[in-house]
Structure 1
Amino acid sequence: RRTEVSEVDGGLRGPFDPSVSLSLSACPPLGLESLRVDDSQMRASSYERTGLGPHRGRLNIQSGLEDGDLYDGAWCAAARDRDQWLEVDALRPTLFTGVVLQGRSSIWSWDWVESYKLQLSNDSETWWTVLDGGREVFEGNRNPETPVLGLLPVPTVARFIRINPQTWFSNGTVCLRAEVLGCRVPDPDDVDASDPDPGSKDVLDFRHHDYSEMRKLMRSVADQCPDITRVYSIGRSFRGRKLYVMEISDQPGTHQLGEPEFRYVAGMHGNEVLGRELLLNLMQYLCREFRAGNRRVVRLVTETRIHLLPSMNPDGYEEAYSKGSELAGWADGRYSAEGIDLNHNFPDLNNIMWDAQENLGDPRRTANHYIPIPEYYTQEDATVAPETRAVISWMQDVPFVLSANLHGGELVVSYPFDCTRGWTPQEATPTADDAFFRWLASSYASTHLVMADPARRLCHYEDFQVHNNIINGGAWHTVPGSMNDFSYLHTNCFEVTVELSCDKFPHASELPAEWENNKESLLVYMEQVHRGIKGVVRDKTTKRGIADAVIRVEDHDHDIRSAADGDYWRLLNPGQYRVRALAPGYLPSARRCSVDTEPRPTVCDFTLTKTPVQRLKELRAGGAGGSFTLPARRFLNRNYGMKSLSKFKSILN
């Protein structure tokens, strides 16, 4: 039988007497893509093999490089006829409003459904076909990747829905990926049924924000917490949109001596939108909780200078946003407006370092930090996005210590190096700080509510749980020119990539739950900026800080440098370390520094004494020609004797 739904008082009333809005936006996806719909809720008439079973018929699910394994990119029927179907059990009465269809994800096969019927049922036995006027058939796909929306002419209440393909690509088979749109409705026969958890108790603006709305929200947060916030721009996108940053600190706009600088970057790929919304949530949360006196937040804000860049690629985001969460596909909006993948657009310093090591034959003789940007990269005709240039300038201007780059489409945290040595597609390529990077990655992954769940389903085809949900970037897939590697080799900043969720563009209804999934992880990761050692490198005589002093940890082939005021931060795991401070014109200084297990840095200050030659250069600065000033002569006579005059003249000249 067909369940009739009629309009009453501007709403809909079906067999269970629900009252819901006619607006399509009121009925979100059931959750095939986000995995809220369990594999057990999906059935099919047949399937070609296990890897093409009904559980693989999820919107935007991806296959690996090989077809034929357990993780192919669609449901594919065993037969090419019109009796095939994919069924979804909503588990309770649901007001179905539509479906979204997509073809098969594969680099070897082209398969998609060109037309289909929709059938509904309350018991999975008696079915009726949805009619669109006098037509039973809905239009499907014209290629494998572009999602196509099919709306029911009249939203209808049922429990089960079937997609019944009628025609398909002539050279392909019956394959599809799908999402189902529907609203939960109350069932009077189930007195124990309750509405799902709203997702979060935090009162935040849980919705997607376009560029204009993002600016307004950031300004609103700044107005609510003017004493701890500052909104600034680091540059513009190709289409002229500003790259806005929210700074949160007890002294916004000022670098405080000894206080580390932290950054989160989101939206590098414009269609991976969850990071953008999480950072907008985070700035609201920090503002509100600071005002409420939350001790943890107060401590974090007063001891850390936090920078949040919610949208590195605003042009790409606007492209994805214009299509919406279910219709943007897997790649629409990923690239900049110029078609550049920003995560492959930073200078490749890895191979510069490795080539130098091979040519010199001794890694200790080559630079292991602050590797300069090659000249070709700075040319006007170089293929460098304005977004990339803006972020590089930002990274050079601010002495960042720790960062994370927020992405989407998987559940894993990857750490440098991202680029493999020798251009192999996959090979573990650790940094000198591999142990600490694994700690950083674990600090996020182990506190993420879904990532850390051992019972969770794989997003696509890779099982990261065998690696505790962390992986070396090169071991996953090589990424030359990544922001992570550039940050590590050109600046002091350690950075990881966080893949936040299986769904790159979650529906707005998923955002409260995603905030809860990530909230603790976002806070815990920021707190890691206070691990290791920190201090100030000063001149013994003037007591002023020494900029660009090299901080070298014994048995760690990666140095860092002091900031403009002489302060430094060196992230380290617990242990005992011998640390040296070196600066041009100064005698090196060494000391032992101990790091314990608490996330509180050990203070290791250094006082450097100028070398005799440097002191002589400064003493002679007021003299003329090749002669020494009287103070210089007295210094030499007292410390080295007059016979040394000729020797020092030759050095200085």
Structure 2
Amino acid sequence: NLLAVKPREWRRRYHIRVRLPYNKMICNAYQPFLKFVCLNLNLSDCPPLGLESLKVSDDQLESSSYLSVGLGPHRGRLNIQSGLEDDDEYDGAWCAGVEDQEQWLQLNALRPTLFTGVILQGRNSIWRSVLNWVRTYKVQFSNDSSVWQPCMNGSEEAVFVGNEDLETPVLALFPEPSVAQYIRINPQTWFSNGTICLRAEVLGCPVPDPDNPHFSETESGSSDDLDFRHHNYNEMRKLMKSVNDECPNITRIYTIGRSYTGLKLYVMEISDNPGKHELGEPEFRYVAGMHGNEVLGRELLLNLMQYICREYNRGNQRVIQLVKDTRIHLLPSMNPDGYEAAYEKGSELSGWALGRYSFEGIDMNHNFPDLNNIMWDAQEMAMDKRRVSNHYIPMPEYYTSTEALVAPETRAVISWMQDIPFVLSANLHGGELVVTYPFDCTRDWIPRQDTPTADNDFFRWLATVYASANLVMANPERRICHSEDFQQHNNIINGADWHTVPGSMNDFSYLHTNCFEITVELSCDKFPHASELPIEWENNKESLLLYMEQVHRGIKGVIRDKDTRAGIANAVIKVDGLGHDIRSAVDGDFWHLLNPGEYKITVWAEGYFPRIRHCSVGSEPRATICDFTLTKTSQDRLKQILASGGKIPRDNQVRIRAMRMRKLRASTKILNRRREQQQRLNKVKRK
């Protein structure tokens, strides 16, 4: 809304401000002082400008001074994390180079903005030996960065309360919001044993100004009509129920267990035949919210189930094909207790860690059985490494004990993994922009080292698929989130080469089941503001769909008994030259994710003769059918026939008779040798 104002007299410059409380309008005149802007809004509607989410570029931040390059104004971002070394180029705050009350951190919003508040945090350091934070501060505004007006509280300059520790974000709303292009944070007091250091976020609403060159630079949202907001536990249940009501023929809601406080772990199943495993159809899962404060994955999965439902009803052929050929499972909140704690504080005030852990204080991404070291220890002790199991490694006894420190949420997910023959999965996290692939744990407890699996090439393909289709990751101009430059690795990295994580869900999934799983770090901001959810959906939509389609790569088939034609469960499928096997599901069907190429496949099962086939895998996401028929060994076949009360077929009788004759000949030879030896021994004794 624009309101014309014609000043009659003024001295040098002027500023006009009017509040119209009866209709919640806030009006400001701003330079070039030819317009009078009225905004009809609630102050709580003004979102963060994007220091944390990186919408604000480094060029928009300036400071009066800085202690070092790594403590420059570009590091003064809410929740930014320091690098491995203090005082390197990736430190954890802006720190002034001079300790006085004239220091400031300045933001250029690029356009007239109604500034409504500031959030402050202390300096981050992984060593925790640095205690730097600002206790009180002032705020100034400017339209040209030359003349500054203080933020007022009535007739006095406002002084805001800052921090009393390093990590807790503290919000200060301005008594009188102001329209300006620039804002300065001016520290007044700081921790007595530290120096002036802070991380910040600024709240504000852009003001319409057609004459400003950045007026049209509003971030586009999404054309998809989805529920873009944060959903607490009850709201999540309602949304899932609404999707199920809208698409009852292709959706089913079920639970896999409860959290420590009793909240249900809900899963949305999407399939053309929900509730049933179809022979030959692969099972896919997305898991989000393992860390409750990393919330973007939760909202993306809620958006995804809405999107698939609506596009299916609209006749979107890509979605219809996906639903027809795949059984999809979406777990939006693995740690609902942690999420509720973070949600209660809000997107900017939950900090970096509140809600990460379970109610019991367990980090679920370190809570799965460490099967890596069990396998590696067995390989080191074995004379023949080929005899050491490389798949379906059982859980250690201590882990299954009721006294083991295992979260109920973790146990529920493990049971889920064991019940359904998942083929492919992704674990959605937040706080970085990178895709990691197994192994997550290093050998010999090295802090970080590339530790590949036998399927390393395919895992790299999976990670590349998601990263290359993600609009933010694929942008070569984007800024790094914290201290790691993942763009030099094409935004993918071996998990252990980033940092070792013993007991991760990815490694457990690979070593205990047939399922391949990667981790996707979706955003620099763990808890993005609701206003950013539409663009985050657009950033990830294609990646989410494309990654699901990868479940149809490689080979698939059914392993059957030659005589009964029944499926053979638990048969081992071995790819020649690949040191990781898989097993068939209950009905005898199997899926093996493989890159394009020619493969020699060997299949065997207990009581059967092994079978070898050569199978070719193409470049299209369409699995090659590679069925196997196994013949029982003679002894097992005989047991089966006699157990059923049937007669032995003639060919089996001949085979059994020949086998008995071979045994008889072998026994006769042994007896004859023993007689000859005894006769020679008797002759010697007589002499």
TM-score tier by shorter-chain length is over 0.9
In the alignment of these two chains, the number of paired residues is 644
1:385 Cα deviation (Å)?
Answer: 0.2
Counterpart for residue 18 of structure 1: 37
Out of 86, 91, 99, the residue aligned to residue 105 of structure 2 is 86
Answer yes or no: is the 8 Å Cα contact 1:116–1:139 preserved in 2.
Answer: yes
> Structure 1 residues 585 and 188 mapped into 2: Cα distance closer, same or farther (>3 Å)?
closer
What is the alpha-carbon distance in structure 1 between the residues aligned to residue 655 and residue 238 of structure 2?
A: 68
The partner residue of 1:398 within 420, 443, 449 is: 420
Q: Who is 2:137 aligned against?
A: 116
Match of 1:626?
none
CA RMSD of superposed structures (Å): 1.8
Paired letter, 2:107: V
Name the CA distance, whole Å, in 2 between partners of 1:282 and 1:621: 51
> How far off its partner does 1:630 sit?
6.6
Q: Structure 2 CA distance, aligned partners of 1:14 and 1:606? A: 77
TM-score, scaled to structure 1 = 0.96
User: Alignment partner for residue 549 of structure 1, among 547, 568, 571?
Assistant: 571
**Matching residue's letter, 1:502:** C
Partner of 1:640: 657
> Residue 2 of structure 1 contacts residue 128 of structure 1 at CA under 8 Å; is this kept in 2?
no
Matched, 1:535 2:557: yes
2:466/2:546 contact within 8 Å kept: yes
Aligned-partner SS, 2:613: strand
AA aligned to 1:225 is: C
* CA distance in 2 between partners of 1:256 and 1:24 (Å): 53
Q: What amino acid does structure 2 have at the position aligned with 1:546?
A: I
**Matched residue of 1:311: which SS?**
coil
Deviation at 1:3, TM superposition (A): 4.8
Aligned counterparts of 1:96 and 1:620: Cα–Cα separation in 2:
86
Q: Which residue of structure 2 aligns with residue 631 of structure 1? A: 648
Confirm or deny that 1:97 pairs with 2:107.
Answer: no
Q: Distance in 1 between matches of 2:118 and 2:141?
A: 12
Q: Distance in 2 between matches of 1:495 and 1:481?
A: 14
Are 1:6 and 2:58 matched, yes or no?
Answer: no
One-letter code aligned to 2:140: Q
- SS where residue 422 of structure 1 aligns? helix
1:32 and 2:51 are equivalent in the alignment: yes
5+ residue gaps, structure 1, are 624-628
Provide the C-alpha distance between the structure 2 equivalents of 1:185 and 1:121, rounded to a whole number of angstroms: 15
Contact 1:619-1:632 within 8 A present in 2 as well: no
Q: Give the partner amino acid of 1:618.
A: Q
Deviation at 1:276, TM superposition (A): 0.2
**CA displacement, residues 393-414 of structure 1 (integer Å, 9 cap, x when unaligned):** 0000000000000000000000
Give the match for residue 675 of structure 2. Answer: none
* Range moving further from structure 2, 529-538 or 10-19: 10-19
SS of the residue corresponding to residue 487 of structure 2 reads helix
Uncovered stretches (5+) of structure 2, i.e. residues with no partner: 1-13, 30-34, 668-687
**Larger CA Rg, structure 1 vs 2:** 2
Structure 1 residues 228-377: aligned runs within 5 Å: 228-377=250-399
State the alpha-carbon separation in 2 of the partners of residues 66 and 610 from structure 1: 62
Q: Which amino acid aligns with 1:528?
A: Q
1:450 paired to 2:472: yes
Amino acid at match of 2:489: H
Counterpart secondary structure, 2:17: coil
| Structure 2 contact 110–214 (Cα < 8 Å) conserved | no
TM-score, length-normalised on structure 2?
0.91
Per-residue CA distance 1:131-186 (angstroms, 9 max, x = gap): 22435210000001000001001221111110000000111110000000000111
**Counterpart mapping for 1:110-149 below 5 A:** 110-133=131-154, 134=156, 136-149=158-171
- The 1-side partners of 2:92 and 2:214 are apart by 37
SS at match of 1:81: coil
Partner of 1:500: 522
What letter matches 2:93 in structure 1?
A: A
Look up the match of 1:194.
216
| 2:24–2:42 CA contact under 8 A, matched in 1 | no
In structure 2, C-alpha distance between the alignment counterparts of 1:150 and 1:2, rounded to whole Å: 23
Q: Does 1:151 align with 2:176?
A: no
Q: 2:11 maps to what in 1?
A: none
Deviation at residue 643 of structure 1 after TM alignment:
4.2
Task: Answer yes or no: is 1:594 the counterpart of 2:616.
Answer: yes
Confirm or deny: 8 A CA contact 2:290 2:335 kept in the other structure.
yes
Deviations 1:591-617, CA, capped at 9 Å, x for gaps = 000001111100000000000111122
Compared with structure 1, are the counterparts of its residues 188 and 198 closer, same or farther at alpha carbon in structure 2 (3 Å cutoff)? closer
Residue identity matched to 1:631: I
After superposing the two structures, state which structure 1 stretch, 124-133 or 352-361, moved more.
124-133
Instruction: Report whether the alignment pairs 1:49 with 2:71.
Output: no
Following TM superposition, by how much is the alpha carbon of 1:5 offset from its aligned partner in structure 2, in angstroms?
3.8
Quote the residue 2:79 is aligned against. 60
* CA 633–603 in structure 1, closer or farther in 2 if over 3 Å, else same: closer
Cα distance in structure 2, aligned partners of 1:361 and 1:634: 41
Residue identity over aligned pairs, in percent, reads 69
Give 4+ residue runs of structure 1 displaced > 6 Å after superposition.
645-648
- Match for 2:121: what amino acid? Q
